[in-house]
Structure 1
């Protein structure tokens, strides 16, 4: 009897030692963003994307131990790509806006002003083009990045000035601040483009270095630009694609398909929450500016067309330059414009033709 008990206990111990481990494998993952969480894309990464990944992995053999590094703690604004390249982070927000050479094709919206003001349409279009045009995804891969989706961007750009604007004539000789590629939106208009960014706009206008700025509403309200440039003209330059959620590709490729799917599918949750959150913020921005004394007006459709027609074909120049480098610039431009047309967008100018 005692021998049978010993044998039974031994068999049970052996069986337990051979049983599969029931706890999930924990992956250490650092998520990086140069901007602080006050910016909606970082807030949504933290509050929507990461919980969505965790939820997708519930009940699987994997879980994630997240380290969230935002606001310059690991990388400065525009430095996220390098942080991931160095293996300091595995997932993050990378802005194609700050990589005009390395991620040139993703900047198609910035060379096609007066596009759609619909953020959801613009972001979902460029996001989807990554699957239509392999070269777009390859640009990320060449940087050891896996584009997961979750295209984020900026709402319909407008003009803020120290003087009223009802026509192009009002811009003659005026100095206007504009971010990077948006300086091209002033070519041949008579205005003088002055490069700047959100940290310089207020002081530039206050000191007379500039007399206005091309900017998006949520940033304008947060920076209180209406205090120095109270004339807000809704020119409808259009919404802009600025980047997306990416993973370090060499790390991503080593992960189990279950983990890969969770990281990729959760980008859809990020996209939906980001766009709904942005809509609320834009409405709040206009309300804040109006309550702060801003005079908000719409530029007439006639003047929008005149402005668009006055510009050189900056989109075609951009596309041909990329074509000469072996990239499908013309294909990306034509595809983007065709998608906007198919969605019923009324374009004051078709940038895909001469």
Structure 2
């Protein structure tokens, strides 16, 4: 055999070996791909991705779930993103999840004070904290301490609670005219959602129920003179065009969002997927709080840059406003007690945590039980 033939033979043997290794790797990859079970899940909110919490949900929660599941390669989620009233209208996410029209949803809790009252604890304790991260973590801690809260959610509405979240660093009042005295609120009409309308009724203003997407038109058409909102939403929805005066009362942070999952959907997904969905929900809560804080101060500057004016209230005016509020916290605690939940103690626990964290509390709601 010639030297050239020997060299060619060696080359052919090497090529066959490389081809064999290549085919083995391709087969291995295809086997791994085929082994991942695809699980379809529909996620919903009545609000469009314009809303900060939906945007963070899309940009953080969904890809983070995908990333963690990809670490094992056992499961893959086929997400059906149904935001912006595709499945549920404003205030309809709770019922859509209850009846299995979707798998996971972002519920806006103030639309349902009669159905899931616990989740509005920060709404009934205004002028307590502006730390949205602390408020959200505290609500989750209370649910962990009192599991009967989530048990009722499962039993009554066929859902599994994943986490509480919020995007409202502090409610303010946005008006189409400047306010120098609290007496100027008397006789005005102010729109808001659910429980927050009570913030202005003690001042003699009339509350007009509306969704965030309707605030602009309500004010521009003269239906209302103002609205309850927060700085980031005022910029996102261009409220500075129709309500250029931000009355800086600092009513406080509220946890207005609940990430919830249909019970049947939760039960049918494998344990590994359940754990990831729950763990990432908690991380979403914290990520959303960070993003809220990042945008809050910037939004105040942007509000002024777009022609808005921030009207600061004095400490005496804030105290006067606080004292004008009905005792919503006591009503809330009594309602929970009647439902078999320890409402009074839950309220005390919440306020104890806020005091321990050194929050700027104007009214100690638990001391009025």
TM-score between the two structures when normalised by the length of structure 2:
0.83
Tell me whether 1:94 sits opposite 2:100 in the alignment: no
Tell me whether 1:180 sits opposite 2:194 in the alignment: yes
Residues 294 and 153 of structure 1: is their aligned pair in 2 closer, same or farther, counting only changes over 3 Å? closer
Secondary structure of 2:47 counterpart: coil
Tell me whether 1:132 sits opposite 2:145 in the alignment: yes
How do residues 243-262 of structure 1 correspond to structure 2 at under 5 angstroms?
A: 243-262=257-276
How do residues 315-330 of structure 1 correspond to structure 2 at under 5 angstroms?
A: 315-330=329-344
2:59 corresponds to which of 47, 64, 89: 47
C-alpha distance in 2 between matches for 1:22 and 1:210? 58
Quote the offset at 1:262 in angstroms: 0.9
How do residues 123-272 of structure 1 correspond to structure 2 at under 5 angstroms?
A: 123-142=136-155, 143-149=157-163, 151-272=165-286
Residues 203 and 259 of structure 1: is their aligned pair in 2 closer, same or farther, counting only changes over 3 Å? closer
Tell me whether 1:307 sits opposite 2:321 in the alignment: yes
Quote the offset at 1:33 in angstroms: 1.8
Residues 167, 288 of structure 2: 8 Å contact kept: no
Greater shift in the superposed pair: 284-293 or 301-310: 284-293
Choose between structure 1 and 2: higher helix proportion. Answer: 2
Post-superposition Cα deviations, 1:293-335, rounded to whole Å, max 9, x if no partner, equal 2111321122111211122312112221332333332233222
Post-superposition Cα deviations, 1:7-58, rounded to whole Å, max 9, x if no partner, equal xxxxxxxxxxxx9997122212222222111112212222211111112212
C-alpha distance in 2 between matches for 1:162 and 1:105? 34
Post-superposition Cα deviations, 1:252-287, rounded to whole Å, max 9, x if no partner, equal 123322111111111133123212222333234222
Post-superposition Cα deviations, 1:73-100, rounded to whole Å, max 9, x if no partner, equal 2222322233323333222222222221
Tell me whether 1:295 sits opposite 2:338 in the alignment: no
Tell me whether 1:339 sits opposite 2:350 in the alignment: no
Residues 108, 332 of structure 1: 8 Å contact kept: no
Residues 129, 252 of structure 2: 8 Å contact kept: yes
Residues 150 and 56 of structure 1: is their aligned pair in 2 closer, same or farther, counting only changes over 3 Å? farther
C-alpha distance in 2 between matches for 1:326 and 1:31? 32
1:105 corresponds to which of 118, 126, 138: 118
- How many correspondences in the alignment? 336
Secondary structure of 1:348 counterpart: coil
Residues 195 and 83 of structure 1: is their aligned pair in 2 closer, same or farther, counting only changes over 3 Å? closer
Give the structure with higher Rg (CA).
2
C-alpha distance in 1 between matches for 2:206 and 2:32? 69
Residues 127, 251 of structure 2: 8 Å contact kept: yes
Q: Which residue of 1 aligns with 2:18?
A: none
C-alpha distance in 1 between matches for 2:342 and 2:186? 36
C-alpha distance in 2 between matches for 1:278 and 1:101? 28
Unmatched tracts of structure 1, length 5 or more = 1-18
C-alpha distance in 1 between matches for 2:99 and 2:193? 28
C-alpha distance in 2 between matches for 1:44 and 1:21? 29
Greater shift in the superposed pair: 119-128 or 281-290: 281-290
Q: Which residue of 2 aligns with 1:35?
A: 47
